[in-house]
Structure formats: C-alpha cells, structure tokens
C-alpha cells in the first residue's frame, strides 16, 4: 500500500527536502501551501507533478495553520498515514514584531491539527511529527542540551513552540496518538530563508564579491550555534515516525561555532581573508588578502561587514549546543554533512546566482538585488 504523508510548510526549507525524500521513498505526498500574491513555490517547483495526470504523487492544497476548518477538511480528504507539522512563522526576530500571529500559527496551529486528527477519528491511523526547536532551551540550563534539559524560552517564537511541544506530548499521553517532537538545532542549506544568519552571510558576501551589494550589516556575531544540514535533519524526521513507540529526540551535530566563524568560512570559500577590528557596535571586518577570481569587485582594505544594532534581539539566545546521543543510539542517526561543508555548498550556490546577476548588470540588464535583512 502506498503511504500518504501530509506536510505543512511544504514550501519552506525543510518541507522541500522532506517532500523530495518521501517521494523517493514511494510516498504520496500532500503539501499545504499558503495563498500569496506572488509565486511562493520556488523550493518545490522542481518536484511539481502535473495534477492532470492520474499518476501524480505530489499534490498541493491551499491552506493555513490559522484556519481550523481548512485543516480539518484537508485531513479528512487526505487521511494521511503521517503528518509533518513544519509550517510556522519561523523567524525568531520577527516573532518579537508579530508575537500574537506567531502564537496563533506556531502554538494554536499545532493544536488545530492535533484536534482535527482526533475529531476525525484518525488517532489510530495518523502519526504526527512536530517541528520543535533548540530555541526551547533559550537561556541554557545545561550544556550540551539533551532531551531532559529544562526549557527556558527567550522569544515569542520559542514560547509558542513550547506550547506546541507540550500539546504534542499531551495528545500522545491523553489519546494514545503516535505523536513526537524532534527538537532540532539550527539546520541550513542553499534553500535556507534569505534572512536567517547563515544565508544572509553567504548570499551577502557573494553579492559583495561580485559588486552587487556594498556591505553586510550584522547583529550579534558572537552568538554560538550548533549548525547542521537540512538534508540530514529531514531524514531523521521520517525515522522518528517509523518506530514502535513515539518518543522525542534531540537532533544536532554536537559541534558549535560562532556567527563570526561562519563569516570567516564563507569569506574563505570566496578566496577572501578577513581581519576583525574594533569593539561592540564599532566592530568591522576588513579584507586583508584576495585569492582566486570569485571576488573581482573587492580590494584589500575594503570593509565588508559592519555591526547594526537593529539586528540585536530584545532577548538573545547566546549559545546552543546539542547532544544527539539518543538519536544515535536508538535510531542509528548520525549527521553526514559538516557545518563547513554546508557553508561551502551555500557559497557555491549563492556565488552562481551573484555571477549571473553581475553578468546581466554588465550588459545593461540591471536586476534589483533584495537585501536580506
């Protein structure tokens, strides 16, 4: 029997990799996409299947986590074996600007899905994956963080995700639903949203190297994260739903780096050597050497990064480091791609795009470059 999966957030970074992964496994994959005034399917266009043919195994439904009747109707129609709840307002800094919306979508949206499964009597059929987050640890109580480490969320996003975490546990305990939380640490890829820090850096530096942007403006570059690759992490999301009993798992690499280091790696991939000088908001990164041909627009002495306090957060999560031992021992999961390999892949992709834009510009076809804030 072909298994059916429903993915919320299918148009996002993880949703796109997970849809690819499940299609390769032979699943029929249903995804929920939001209505937008312009196309928002660029991450999944390459796996689009013409719905007019009988054999299409990838199907999209319009929907929103804020809309109970819509979610219930889609669940009734699809009757999925597995639901992956990846949809969210996922930007921590934005959650301080839009806290109520973030709570509605990230917290109550999860409840809406769980309650729809129960209302439709799908508790025995449908397995549920909740995209939980290392942001739950926030002001960390223990290092490295594991499944038993107490939570101390530090943003409206993290507080909303804390509700989603516990309501998932609650539906498991109260109704016997196969429901579990993946507590995922930061994971990135060339498909990462342009305003998250890694992508902002790889895209920004590639653009600067090609003369398309003047300078990168950053927030707290001393922040420490445990960065993995989204491809490794979606594999684990699926593995979690294939066990005999549902459990929660930390997914991380167990290695930590700073935002500053990520800037240095990215610059090095472009053949740029940097020196950091100044303190606090006056800190800058200056080019000290250029190797190769990836950065024709730069000269030694150019400043490519400055600090802009606009990117500081009202409450910061300074340090995160995960302990993936349980995932390794119980599921045999180990990450295959290192943070530096991932950084190289991101730079390669962003440089390709920047080179295309630079070539167009050189020939008089100037395209506006969106600045990733």
Catalytic position from the list 17, 129, 137, 157: 157
Judged by CB under 6 A, does residue 140 bind ligand GDR?
Answer: no
316 assigned to active site:
no
Q: Which residue has the tokens 């699809």?
A: 78
In this structure, the dihedral spanned by the alpha carbons of residues 167, 20, 49 and 77, taken in order and rounded to 10 degrees, is: -20
Catalytic position from the list 20, 28, 82, 135: 135
Non-local CB neighbours of 118 within 8 Å, separated by 6+ positions:
171, 175, 177
- Of 223, 253, 256, 266, the one binding ligand GDR by CB under 6 A: 223
SS3 letters across 50-106: CCCCCCCCEEEEECCCCCHHHHHHHHHHHCCCEEEECCCCCCHHHHHHCHHHHHHHH
Non-local CB neighbours of 281 within 8 Å, separated by 6+ positions:
307, 309
Residue 73 or residue 313: which is nearer to ligand GDR going by CB?
313
Q: Binding partner of residue 92 among ligand NDP, ligand GDR, none, CB under 5 to 8 Å per kind?
A: ligand GDR
Catalytic position from the list 102, 133, 149, 253: 133
Residue 289 gets the label, from left (phi > 0), alpha (psi -120 to 50) or beta, of: beta
135 assigned to active site:
yes
Residue 33 or residue 357: which is nearer to ligand NDP going by CB?
33
Residue 9 or residue 246: which is nearer to ligand NDP going by CB?
9
Judged by CB under 6 A, does residue 259 bind ligand GDR?
Answer: yes
Looking at the DSSP bridge assignments, the partners of residue 180 are 129
Contact 226, 134 (CB under 8 A): yes
Interface residue list for ligand NDP (CB under 6 A): 8-9, 11-15, 32, 34, 36, 40, 64-66, 86-90, 105, 131, 133, 184, 186-187, 193
For residues 318 and 301, give the distance between their C-alpha atoms in angstroms, rounded to a whole number. Answer: 30
Non-local CB neighbours of 68 within 8 Å, separated by 6+ positions:
112, 115, 116
- Of 64, 115, 147, 316, the one binding ligand GDR by CB under 6 A: 316
157 assigned to active site:
yes
DSSP label of 32: E
For residues 316 and 216, give the distance between their C-alpha atoms in angstroms, rounded to a whole number. Answer: 20
Judged by CB under 6 A, does residue 313 bind ligand GDR?
Answer: yes
Which x/- pattern, by CB under 6 A, does the window 97-136 give for ligand GDR?
------------------------------------xxx-
The residue number whose beta carbon is nearest to ligand NDP equals 12
User: Judged by CB under 6 A, which stretch of 74-82, 191-199, 249-257, 330-338 contacts ligand GDR?
Assistant: 191-199
Number of residues that bind ligand GDR (CB under 6 A): 23
Judged by CB under 6 A, does residue 85 bind ligand GDR?
Answer: no
Q: Least distance in Å: CB of 61 to ligand GDR?
A: 23
Contact 33, 247 (CB under 8 A): no
Judged by CB under 6 A, does residue 30 bind ligand GDR?
Answer: no
Residue 184 or residue 267: which is nearer to ligand NDP going by CB?
184
Sign of the Cα torsion 191, 193, 197, 200 reads: positive
Q: Least distance in Å: CB of 200 to ligand NDP?
A: 14
For residues 214 and 226, give the distance between their C-alpha atoms in angstroms, rounded to a whole number. Answer: 29
Give the footprint of ligand GDR on this chain (CB under 6 A): 90, 92-93, 133-135, 185-186, 195-197, 200, 218-221, 223, 225, 259, 311, 313, 316-317
Task: State the catalytic residues.
Answer: 133, 135, 157
């Amino acid at each position: 029997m072909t298994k059916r999966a429903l993915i919320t957030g299918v148009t996002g970074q993880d949703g796109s990799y997970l849809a690819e992964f499940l299609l390769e496994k032979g699943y029929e994959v249903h995804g929920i996409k939001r209505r937008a005034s312009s196309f928002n399917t660029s991450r999944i266009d390459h796996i689009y299947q013409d719905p007019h043919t009988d054999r299409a195994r990838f199907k999209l439904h319009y929907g929103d986590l804020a809309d109970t009747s819509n979610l219930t109707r889609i669940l009734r129609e699809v009757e999925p074996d597995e639901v992956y709840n990846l949809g969210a307002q996922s930007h921590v800094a934005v959650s301080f600007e839009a806290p109520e919306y973030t709570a509605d979508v990230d917290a109550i949206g999860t409840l809406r899905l769980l309650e729809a499964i129960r209302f439709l009597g799908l508790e025995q059929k449908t397995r549920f994956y909740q995209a939980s987050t290392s942001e739950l640890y926030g002001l960390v109580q223990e290092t490295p963080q594991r499944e038993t480490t107490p939570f101390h969320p530090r943003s409206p996003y993290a507080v909303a995700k804390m509700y989603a975490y516990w309501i998932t546990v609650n539906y498991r305990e109260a109704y016997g639903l196969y429901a579990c939380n993946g507590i995922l640490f930061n994971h990135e890829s060339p498909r990462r949203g342009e305003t998250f820090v890694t992508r902002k850096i790889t895209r920004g530096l590639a653009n600067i190297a090609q003369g398309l942007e003047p300078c990168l403006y950053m927030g707290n570059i001393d922040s420490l994260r445990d960065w993995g690759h989204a491809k490794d992490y979606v594999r684990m999301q699926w593995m979690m739903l294939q066990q005999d009993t549902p459990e929660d798992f930390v997914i991380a690499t167990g290695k930590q780096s700073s935002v500053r280091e990520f800037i240095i790696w990215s610059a090095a991939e472009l053949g740029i050597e940097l020196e950091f000088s100044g303190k606090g908001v006056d800190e800058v990164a200056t080019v000290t050497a250029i190797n190769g041909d990836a950065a024709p627009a730069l000269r030694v002495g150019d400043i490519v990064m400055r600090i802009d306090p606009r990117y500081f957060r009202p409450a910061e999560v300074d340090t995160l480091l995960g302990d993936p031992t349980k995932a390794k021992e119980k599921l045999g999961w180990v990450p295959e791609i290192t943070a530096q390999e991932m950084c190289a892949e991101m730079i390669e992709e962003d440089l390709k795009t920047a080179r295309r834009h630079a070539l167009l510009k050189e020939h008089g076809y100037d395209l506006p470059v969106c600045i990733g804030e």
